[in-house]
Amino acid sequence: MEPKPKQDNFLEIIQEEKFQDNSLLRRALTHRSYVHENPQSGEHNERLEFLGDALLTYLSGDYLYRRHPDIEEDQLTRRRSALVDQKQLARFALEVGLDKKMRLGKGAIRERGFQNPNLLSNTFEAVIAAYYLDNNFNVEAVRDVIEPLFDSVPEEILESRSHLDPINQFQVWVQRHIPQNPPLLPNYVRTKIGGLPHAPEFLCEVFVDNRKYGEGTGKSIPEAKKMAAENALTILKSEGFL
C-alpha cells in the first residue's frame, strides 16, 4: 500500500462525520463576520483560535526539539516561529482545503476572505483546537495530524525564514542583554482599536519586565505583534543597543 499524501489525515478530520460533537467543527470554521450576519448560527471561532495557537506552539516546539537535538535554543525558537507563523499556517489551511469550508459573512466574502492569510491561519488554529476538544483533550491525537504537515515544510525554507522574524530577533536580544533565570520573555499586549467585523485593526504593545519597548498596528494580531517587535528593534538600534 502506498503511503498517504501528507494532508490526508487532516482532510479526514475536517469532515463533520469524523467528530463526536460536530458543532465543534462548525464553530471552528465560523468567522465572527458570519455570526454578525447570522445571529442564530452559534458561536464564532475566536476562543478556539486562542487554544489552537497554544497547542501549535507546544507541538511545534516539541517537534523541533526532537528533530534537531544539536540546535541551540535561540535557533529552535526562530524555527518554531517560522513553522507556525501566519504565512505557514495559511499555507497549511489551503493545502487541506479549509478555504472551501470557512463560514464567512458576505462582506468578508466580497473582500476575498477565503484567500486572506489572517482568516486562513486563524481557522486552521481553531480546527486544531476543535479536534483536541473532540478527542477529550488528547494532545497525541493532534500530534498525529499536525506532524505530517510539519514534515512537509522543506528544511531550507524553514532555515531561511527563521532568520527574518523580528519577534524572534527581539526575544533573542532580550535574553542576551537582560539575563535572568528563568529567562525573561517579551509580553505582547493586544487591543482591538477599530475596523469592521471582517477586517478589524489591532494595536499591540510589547513589554519586558513591565517596561514598554515598542508598539505596532496591523489588520491581524500576528501582524500587529510583528510590527511591535520591529518597532522595538528600530528603537534599540536608534539608541545604540543593537
Contacts of 109-112 spanning 24+ positions with Cβ under 8 A: 111/198, 111/199
**146 within 8 A of 125, measured Cβ to Cβ:** no
53 catalytically annotated: yes
Mark whether 2 is an active-site residue: no
User: How far is C-alpha 127 from the geometric centre of its chain's CA atoms?
Assistant: 12
Give the orientation angle of helix 86-95 with respect to helix 117-134, to 10 degrees: 70
The catalytically annotated residue of 53, 85, 147, 223 is 53
CA nearest to 89, candidates 10, 167, 8: 10
Contact yes or no for 162/75 (Cβ under 8 A): yes
Please report where in the chains the cell 528533530 appears, as a residue: 67
Are the C-beta atoms of residues 145 and 56 closer than 8 Å to each other? no
Contacts of 39 (CB under 8 A, 6+ apart): none
Which residues are known binding-site members for Mg(2+)?
49, 122, 125
Query: Which listed residue (12, 72, 111, 125) is catalytic?
Result: 125
Would you please indicate which residues are annotated as catalytic (active-site) residues?
53, 125
